[in-house]
Amino acid sequence: MTTFVQSIRYEDRVLTILDQTRLPQEEHYEVIADLAQAVEAIKQLRVRGAPAISLFGGFVLVQEAYRFEAALPVYKQALLETSATLLATRPTAVNLRNVLNQLNPIIQDGTSVEEIRERLEKRTVALYDQDAQTSRQIGIHALELFQSGDRILTICNAGSIATAAYGTALAPFYIAKERGIELSVFASETRPLLQGARLTTWELQRAGIDVTLITDNMVAHTLKEKQIDAIIVGADRITRNGDTANKIGTFQLALLAQAFGIPFYVAAPLSTFDFSLVSGDAIEIEERDPQEVTTVQGVATAPEGVAVFNPAFDVTPHTLITGIITELGVITQPNEETIEQLTGLQPLG
Ligand code: MRU
């Protein structure tokens, strides 16, 4: 079995994260002491990736639940405000909202402070444990789509450090490794924050998985020259019709996959679906600090004052997606009907 680096640890009521902004130079762990530090950690991407953000948010709420002392009505109010503060940190990924939607009723319906604390903790620990199982199932289903010797391209980091373990888009590579199946990964570096270069190559290399780094503008050439067999990416929010928000640059990969006639897969747990949105047009795309584009790791790469557009995500239309790989199986040619068939989840409206 693979041993994973834990990007989020909750032990003896102490919450610790692996600071992902310092990788690969430094494997630094940070203890989270309060809400302000937690919010900053999410906004600065010290903890990142849709499932990891959601699990972290859950643990922060648990920690605050043990820290607050007040009479029940005031206590509930304060915790619900904490939940709302966490929800407002980053707008695109939906997983945190889906976790908080499970935790908020525990607060609302609680009959004592102690009961709320215990139930929040129990549920969040269960969600964390479940996430590792979910990711493993995604990996098993995804691996069925690949053959030994395949070369597969990915962007950003949808790996073990973006989840409790295994990751989503990277999960099949861990399962392949366990089973002795040879797959090669090509990682696109993912400007501006280099999650592909800094994180995906780091975690795959550690696990002994064959990985080759390219810059984002090398993708078309690489698809052609290295005969890439498929592209697989993670997701931050998938709407009712299968439109998928993921790291900026994903949409152009899907267009290239179509041009080259190779499959384009999205790997994501059911907690990444947002059935309240009809299509990707309704997804809010986070825009981030222009400095992320005008500098590389603190060094200026553009003249001061230049106009910058820095969306952190883009939306890939479902028509470009060959399949969405979930813990329940693969949704081939995703659309409202095929998604409903597999998930059994009833779209709103
Ligand atoms: O801005 P980030 O690094 O949080 O973006 C992460 C992604 O886009 C991932 O692909 C997505 O969250 C899935 S992680 C399993």
pLDDT tens, 52-75?
999 999 999 999 999 999 999 999
What is the per-residue burial (b if ≥16 Cβ within 10 Å, else e) of 230-266? bbbbbbbbbbbbbbbbbbbbbbbbbebbeeeebbbbb
Give the E-state strand segments of 203-292 in sequence order. Answer: 211-214, 230-233, 237-239, 244-247, 264-267, 273-274
180 within 8 A of 149, measured Cβ to Cβ = no
Residue found under tokens 């430094």 = 26
> How would you class 22 by CB atoms within 10 Å of its CB: exposed for 0-12, middle for 13-18, buried for 19 or more?
middle
pTM exceeding the 0.90 threshold for the entire prediction: yes
Distance CA 175, CA 140 (A): 7
- Identify the residues whose C-beta falls under 6 Å from ligand 1: 45, 48-51, 93, 156, 158, 162-163, 167-168, 195, 234-236, 246-247, 312
Residue 123, annotated ligand binder? no
Query: Taking residues 39-47, what's their average pLDDT?
Result: 98
Task: Find the catalytic residue in 19, 216, 236, 274.
Answer: 236
pLDDT tens digits along 82-117: 999 999 999 999 999 999 999 999 999 999 999 999
Tokens found for residue 181: 């199946």
Confidence of residue 345 (pLDDT cuts 50, 70, 90): low
Q: Indicate the top mutation candidate among 48, 92, 96 to test ligand 1's pocket, ranked by most ligand atoms within 8 A of CB.
A: 48
Would the annotation count 241 as a binding residue? no
| 236 given a catalytic annotation | yes
Which of 195, 271, 272, 284 gets mutated to test ligand 1 (max ligand atoms within 8 A of its CB)? 195
| 69 CA to centre of ligand 1 in angstroms | 35
Q: Which atom of ligand 1 is nearest to the CA of 247?
A: 8
ipTM score of complex: 0.99
Please state, as a whole number, how many other Cβ atoms lie within 10 Å of the Cβ of residue 197: 20
The pLDDT of residue 2: 83
pLDDT digits (tens, 9 = 90+) for 117-175: 999 999 999 999 999 999 999 999 999 999 999 999 999 999 999 999 999 999 999 99
Query: Is 48 annotated for ligand binding?
Result: yes
Q: Are 116 and 110 in contact (CB under 8 A)?
A: yes
**What is the mean pLDDT of the segment spanning 5-27?**
97
Contact between 316 and 285 (Cβ < 8 Å): no
